[in-house]
């Protein structure tokens, strides 16, 4: 190449290279975006078709003997991200440096050992004749679907549910990429079923079984089964028994049952309606309980004792059992996590556990029989001395009634904290107080509205020895003295949400670490 102030990459070719195209001007991603992109790609290996914040160059004009520019760019990126590339090794080394890891403002510590113990506890409650499936949708509630799935496989889990087709593909692909011995044997079901824009062949390619929620989904899946060697494809049928959210309605169920049994009579073309769903291999039928958490404890029994389901759940059970009579060859599943702790009539052939192995309370937050699985920690970043009458945060929604120390922590709604607008003001009486633990012991309530990148806490009850930048702050985790601390359920209650929403919204700005001591 000729001399230039901007060196151009050499492109191998049998002929002289044409002049390089003018540089593409694009806004560069921020350093945090670069770090996230680099780390994600480094963890996955080569992903050559996604440039770092820049569009691919426009293809060269027709007639050239060289590959198009975008093809050469893809080849260059493939070499760049190859795991034996010295550049890849340098990136991995940099990203794993303690000084880089320590740059995160907050850390989510995930206890895989407790996840495994909670799964075992749930499976033991169900008994050997009931399958304990695992729901790992939303990236296993934000903790990493493949990582959690592999931990649960060690405990014997062989059936997984996700919500989206893309989640199912990602799980199967990552297990295959890692050459996991169970990569092609575990069952993966997608709760969305077969959405209108999803091609059935994609599910077949990745050995994914849909939970069919409507007659239209069932018809499309059955039609596609004609392309399979056996003429049938496995699926789960979901029926709505009272939640009015997903699954076939009572009227749709009646029609489908008649068509499956061949009692609906000839259609306009003269063939039996039974042929409409001839391609379905119904492995399970399922429904979902609307109020599984409403169950009264028996007096004098422990937190992990079996409970009596409430009236709504009992009514749903009765409707579901009527449906089960029409599918004697299929397995039946009525419940999810709280169902583990209901009477055996609700267990059926399979329970779809999710919150159970995450340690979420099946009923009341204070009666949780499960082990905690996450700890969210950060540190004090700035100390302020408020004078009486001064406010803090956007809108100054909290006003100090006396001189008081407050501190900011580098954790806001962009990191996953709920956006609090009320600020623990006196007008919010009746709502549980949201707080953190400074140095794992000292209660410090949130004050003021939550910002995108930070929150403010009251240090009045914290010894002055810990009024300094860098003091450890536990947002979710145990109290170092009592062990009780702040669970996701307690924190969710104080913020007007629940443990699942709180956990799934923790973003990539928070570093995740894993321990596994079961």
Residue ranges of the domains in the chain? 129-263+276-294+305-358, 374-515
Mean local confidence (pLDDT), 323-352: 95
Question: Residue 38: is its pLDDT beyond 80?
Answer: no
Which residue intervals of 82-205 are DSSP H helices?
86-95, 98-101, 112-126, 137-142, 145-153, 165-177, 200-205
CB of 512 closer than 8 Å to CB of 110: yes
d(CA 372, CA 358): 7
pLDDT digits (tens, 9 = 90+) for 216-244: 999 999 999 999 999 999 999 999 999 99
Mean local confidence (pLDDT), 71-94: 60
Query: What CATH number was assigned to the domain covering residues 129-263+276-294+305-358?
Result: 3.20.20.10
d(CA 159, CA 189): 8
Question: Residue 162: is its pLDDT beyond 50?
Answer: yes
CB of 178 closer than 8 Å to CB of 142: no
Residue 88 pLDDT level (bands cut at 50, 70, 90):
low
CB of 111 closer than 8 Å to CB of 357: no
Residue 426 pLDDT level (bands cut at 50, 70, 90):
very low
The set of catalytic residues is: 137, 394
Tokens 């996991």 belong to residue? 180
Query: Does the annotation flag 452 for ligand binding?
Result: yes
More confident residue, 484 or 313: 313
User: Given this model, what pLDDT does residue 4 score?
Assistant: 40
d(CA 133, CA 156): 10
Phi and psi of 32, rounded to 5°?
-70, -35
d(CA 223, CA 225): 5
Query: Does the annotation flag 454 for ligand binding?
Result: no
- What whole-number percentage of the chain has pLDDT above 70? 77
d(CA 37, CA 295): 45
Q: What is the largest CA-CA distance in the chain?
A: 87
Residue 52 pLDDT level (bands cut at 50, 70, 90):
very low
Query: What CATH number was assigned to the domain covering residues 374-515?
Result: 2.40.37.10
Lowest mean pLDDT among 70-79, 147-156, 159-168, 456-465: 70-79
User: Given this model, what pLDDT does residue 452 score?
Assistant: 96
Mean residue pLDDT across the chain: 83
Among 36, 495, 173, residue whose Cα is nearest residue 503: 495
Name 237's Cβ contacts closer than 8 Å, sequence gap at least 6: 211, 212, 218, 248, 256, 280, 282, 284, 285, 286, 327, 330
Question: Residue 55: is its pLDDT beyond 60?
Answer: no
- Per DSSP, 174 falls in state H
Report the interhelical angle of 31-44 vs 86-95 (nearest 10°).
120
User: Given this model, what pLDDT does residue 44 score?
Assistant: 47
d(CA 348, CA 423): 46
User: Given this model, what pLDDT does residue 481 score?
Assistant: 81
Question: Residue 496: is its pLDDT beyond 90?
Answer: no
Question: Residue 41: is its pLDDT beyond 70?
Answer: no
- Whole-Å CA distances, 426 to 387, 398, 429: 18, 9, 6
| Extended beta strands in 291-394, E state | 295-296, 308-309, 331-333, 350-353, 374-379, 382-386, 391-392
Name 219's Cβ contacts closer than 8 Å, sequence gap at least 6: 276, 277
d(CA 119, CA 117): 5
Residue 33 pLDDT level (bands cut at 50, 70, 90):
very low
pLDDT digits (tens, 9 = 90+) for 483-492: 778 999 999 8
User: Given this model, what pLDDT does residue 432 score?
Assistant: 76
Question: Residue 246: is its pLDDT beyond 90?
Answer: yes
Q: How many CB atoms lie within 10 A of CB 193?
A: 26
DSSP codes, 440-506: TTEEEEB-S---SS-EEEE-TTS-GGG-STT-EEEEEB--TTTS--B-HHHHHHHTTS-HHHHHHT-
User: Given this model, what pLDDT does residue 2 score?
Assistant: 41
Question: Residue 337: is its pLDDT beyond 50?
Answer: yes
Q: Which of 395-399, 425-429, 439-443, 513-517 has the highest mean pLDDT?
A: 439-443
Q: Which helix (H) or strand (E) holds 339?
A: none
Mean local confidence (pLDDT), 411-418: 94
- Per DSSP, 284 falls in state E
Whether 374-515 and 129-263+276-294+305-358 are alike in CATH topology: the answer is: no
User: Given this model, what pLDDT does residue 355 score?
Assistant: 95
User: Given this model, what pLDDT does residue 59 score?
Assistant: 38
User: Given this model, what pLDDT does residue 93 score?
Assistant: 67
User: Given this model, what pLDDT does residue 367 score?
Assistant: 85
Paired with 477 in beta bridges are 486
């Amino acid at each position: 190449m000729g001399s230039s102030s901007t060196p151009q990459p050499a492109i191998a070719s049998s002929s002289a290279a044409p002049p390089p195209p003018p540089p593409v001007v694009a806004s560069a991603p921020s350093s945090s975006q670069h770090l996230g992109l680099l780390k994600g790609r480094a963890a996955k290996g080569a992903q050559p078709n996604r440039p770092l914040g820049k569009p691919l160059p426009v293809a060269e004009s027709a007639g050239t003997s060289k590959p198009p520019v975008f093809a050469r760019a893809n080849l260059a990126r493939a070499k760049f991200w190859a795991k034996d590339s010295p550049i890849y090794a340098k990136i991995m080394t940099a990203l794993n440096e303690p000084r880089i890891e320590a740059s995160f403002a907050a850390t989510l510590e995930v206890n895989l050992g407790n996840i495994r113990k909670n799964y075992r506890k749930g499976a033991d409650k169900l008994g050997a004749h009931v399958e304990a499936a695992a729901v790992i949708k939303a990236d296993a509630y934000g903790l990493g679907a493949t990582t959690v799935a592999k931990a649960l496989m060690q405990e014997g889990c062989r059936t997984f549910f996700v919500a989206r087709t893309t989640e199912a593909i990602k799980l199967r692909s990552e297990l295959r990429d890692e050459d996991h011995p169970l990569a092609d044997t575990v069952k993966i079901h997608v709760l969305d079923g077969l959405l209108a824009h999803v091609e059935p062949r994609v599910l077949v390619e990745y050995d994914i079984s849909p939970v069919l929620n409507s007659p239209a989904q069932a018809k499309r899946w059955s039609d596609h089964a004609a392309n399979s060697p056996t003429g049938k494809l496995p699926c789960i049928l979901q029926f709505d028994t009272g939640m009015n959210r997903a699954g076939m309605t009572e009227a749709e169920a009646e029609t489908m049952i008649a068509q499956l049994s061949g009692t609906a009579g000839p259609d306009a073309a003269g063939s039996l309606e039974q042929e409409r769903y001839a391609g379905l291999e119904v492995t399970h039928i399922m429904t979902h309980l609307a109020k599984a958490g409403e169950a009264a404890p028996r007096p004098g029994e422990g937190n992990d004792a079996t409970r009596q389901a409430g009236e709504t759940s009992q009514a749903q059970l009765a409707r579901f059992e009527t449906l089960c009579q029409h599918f004697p060859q299929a397995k039946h599943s009525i419940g999810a996590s709280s169902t583990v702790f209901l009477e055996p009539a609700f267990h059926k052939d399979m329970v779809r556990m999710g919150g159970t192995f995450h340690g979420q309370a099946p009923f009341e937050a204070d009666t949780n029989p499960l082990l905690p699985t996450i700890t969210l920690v950060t540190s004090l970043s700035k100390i302020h001395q408020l004078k009486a009458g001064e406010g803090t945060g956007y809108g100054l929604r909290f006003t100090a009634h006396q001189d008081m120390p407050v501190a900011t922590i580098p954790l806001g709604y962009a990191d996953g904290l709920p956006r609090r607008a009320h600020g623990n003001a006196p007008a919010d009486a009746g709502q549980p107080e949201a707080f953190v633990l400074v140095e794992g012991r000292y209660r410090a309530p949130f004050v003021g509205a939550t910002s995108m990148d930070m929150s403010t806490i009251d240090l009045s009850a914290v010894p002055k020895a810990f009024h300094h930048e860098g003091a450890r702050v536990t947002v979710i985790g145990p109290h170092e003295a009592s062990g009780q601390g702040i669970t996701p359920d307690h924190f969710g209650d104080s913020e007007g949400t629940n443990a699942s929403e709180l956990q799934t919204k923790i973003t990539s700005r928070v570093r995740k670490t894993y321990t596994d001591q079961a």
